[in-house]
Structure 1
Amino acid sequence: MKKTAILLLLASCSAFGQVKKGKLIWEENFDGTTLNEKVWNYELGDGCPNICGWGNNERQFYTKENHKIVDGKLVITAKKDGNKYTSTRITTAGKKEFQYGYMETRAKIPVGQGIWPAFWMLGSNIKQVGWPKSGEIDILEYVGKEPHMVYTTLHTKANHGDHASSHKTRFDDIEEGFHTFGVDWTKDKMDFYVDGTLVFTFNPADKTEDVWPFNQPFYFILNVAVGGNFGGPEVDDSIFPQEFIVDYVRVYSNK
């Protein structure tokens, strides 16, 4: 009995603060040899003429060539090509959109001054209402100029840009190997997790449209930016090429 009680106590302690996932709703395991364009869209270029620098003075030019599928993983490679930087940005807009659930990726991040990988979501109504009214959910952001830090952030009309609802958490080993990054999104709150451990909760008392635009479908974005207002401005050219390796993207129901 004593041994059983100790084991139960250990299990309870290890589960404290850990995410609880519901039923698996959708997953992208990057099987095959090419990106599934029934699921993913490419966003190309430098954002011009509408949002040059992708709204953040970023330096990269997005192409279809800066990625590959290898052994069931998506590999996005940021490169220095001559006098310009290239990368890849893909979205599930209009193809795979979700409202509520536990959203997770398992990935290995690129590193170095000026690098800015992200796993994030935008409201499906962005073309109608614009940003930030559409809302933005940043499940993972990492900037190479701040080693060991993971950013989890929400942008809304009430709080966006430098005033966004954001939190950064230190993980001394985040640059080593693969890690999981997720958000448990319900009608009431957002709980962000790194490696299954809770790092940030957003639960405003007054959920007006300007504060809580998260009652509609959102779509996924995976990309690696270079430089910009957040990732830079300085860029260390000696770090390139850098790879953002994504094992999977999964959506579970809320527990």
Structure 2
Amino acid sequence: MRKIIYTLCVIGMLSCSSKKSNIIFEEHFSSTKLNTTNWNYDIGDGCPQICGWGNNELQFYKQQNVRVSNGNLVITAQKDSIYTSGKIHTKDKITFTYGTIEVRAKLPKGKGLWPAIWLLGNNINQVGWPACGEIDMMEYVGKEPGVLFTSMHTPSSHGNTINTKKTAIKNLEEDFHVYKCIWTENEIAFYIDDQHLYTYNPAVKNDKTWPYNKPFYLILNLAIGGNFGGPEVDNTIFPTEFVIDYIKVYKN
């Protein structure tokens, strides 16, 4: 019996060690402040280049709306004289091509909120959007409680994209969930708590349908209102928080 237990322990250790060696990026927010070696802040309302961040969003992003507390990243949306919130990303700092991305997070709830976990092609400054490609691991809008959106934006279909899936998830807003995306050179699959949601795998892969063969960077934000979040905002919900426990990116 001891030999069997020892063998299982060794196998478990090897598996854990192997998984650890495949880590591309890992963030547990264990410090007292955001690690700006890995992360950038977006500040403002997108003006003058893309006012409303291209979606008629209402929030003004501020650095002080992003904090690290008790091992979590906390993005707070507030309503004072204006709506404020937070957005961070890893552009030009942490980028990767293919991999398994896991994010454990707890969503805020309330009409007008639009939290998201997503990725953009790191060449966006050179080719623009949607040519750079976009991967929406998780989008949630408070006007549709209990519903999770996973979507792809490409030159062939973007904005109101056909490459999307809406999934009803019981107790979606009530606890932390693990949002996962498995991105290979052939397909991109989405999961919540290991439940498969949607797979994008176009039959023809070219620059119009598959801008996913180059480095992407990660984005976390909490938007308010906008084309997707909706024109109505419940001001009684503020302040409210989008909480991220950890992020892990593995080689496949």
Query: What TM-score do you get using the length of structure 2 for normalisation?
Result: 0.91
| Contact kept in structure 2, 1:156 and 1:164, CA below 8 Å | no
The structural deviation recorded for 1:104 is 1.2
After superposition, the C-alpha distances for 1:162-182 in whole angstroms (9 at most, x for unaligned) are: 134110111011111100111
Q: Is structure 2 residue 214 aligned with structure 1 residue 216?
A: yes
Match of 1:166 in 2: 164
Q: Matched residues in 2 for 1:236 and 1:196: separation?
A: 32
Match of 1:69 in 2: 68
Moved over 4 A (4+): none
Report 1:219-234 matches (<5 A): 219-234=217-232
Q: Matched residues in 2 for 1:207 and 1:143: separation?
A: 30
RMSD of Structure 2 on Structure 1 (CA): 1.3
Q: Matched residues in 2 for 1:126 and 1:252: separation?
A: 23
Unaligned 5+ runs, structure 1:
1-19
Aligned mate of 2:185, from 184, 187, 194:
187
Report 1:60-209 matches (<5 A): 60-82=59-81, 84-209=82-207
The structural deviation recorded for 1:98 is 0.8
Q: Matched residues in 2 for 1:108 and 1:29: separation?
A: 15
Q: Matched residues in 1 for 2:240 and 2:250: separation?
A: 30
Q: Which amino acid counterpart does residue 39 of structure 1 have in structure 2?
A: N
Aligned residues: 234
Q: Matched residues in 2 for 1:119 and 1:21: separation?
A: 23
- For residues 220 and 85 of structure 1, do their structure 2 counterparts lie closer, same or farther at Cα, with a shift above 3 Å needed? same
Q: Which amino acid counterpart does residue 101 of structure 1 have in structure 2?
A: G
The structural deviation recorded for 1:22 is 9.0
| Contact kept in structure 2, 1:21 and 1:102, CA below 8 Å | no
Percentage identity across paired residues of the two chains: 55
After superposition, the C-alpha distances for 1:33-78 in whole angstroms (9 at most, x for unaligned) are: 0000000001110000000000000000000010211111000000
Unaligned 5+ runs, structure 2:
1-18
Q: Which amino acid counterpart does residue 170 of structure 1 have in structure 2?
A: A
Q: Matched residues in 2 for 1:21 and 1:150: separation?
A: 29
The structural deviation recorded for 1:96 is 0.1
Secondary structure in 1 aligned to 2:136?
strand
- For residues 156 and 22 of structure 1, do their structure 2 counterparts lie closer, same or farther at Cα, with a shift above 3 Å needed? farther
Query: What TM-score do you get using the length of structure 1 for normalisation?
Result: 0.90
Secondary structure in 1 aligned to 2:126?
helix
Q: Matched residues in 1 for 2:231 and 2:214: separation?
A: 34
Match of 1:38 in 2: 37
Match of 1:3 in 2: none
The structural deviation recorded for 1:21 is 11
| Contact kept in structure 1, 2:73 and 2:244, CA below 8 Å | yes
Secondary structure in 1 aligned to 2:125?
helix
| Contact kept in structure 1, 2:75 and 2:86, CA below 8 Å | yes
Q: Matched residues in 2 for 1:99 and 1:25: separation?
A: 10
Q: Matched residues in 2 for 1:61 and 1:234: separation?
A: 17
| Contact kept in structure 2, 1:133 and 1:213, CA below 8 Å | yes
Q: Matched residues in 1 for 2:177 and 2:101: separation?
A: 14
- For residues 180 and 21 of structure 1, do their structure 2 counterparts lie closer, same or farther at Cα, with a shift above 3 Å needed? farther
Match of 1:5 in 2: none
Match of 2:234 in 1: 236
Secondary structure in 2 aligned to 1:163?
coil
- For residues 21 and 234 of structure 1, do their structure 2 counterparts lie closer, same or farther at Cα, with a shift above 3 Å needed? farther
Q: Matched residues in 2 for 1:38 and 1:68: separation?
A: 15
| Contact kept in structure 1, 2:108 and 2:173, CA below 8 Å | yes
The structural deviation recorded for 1:81 is 1.4
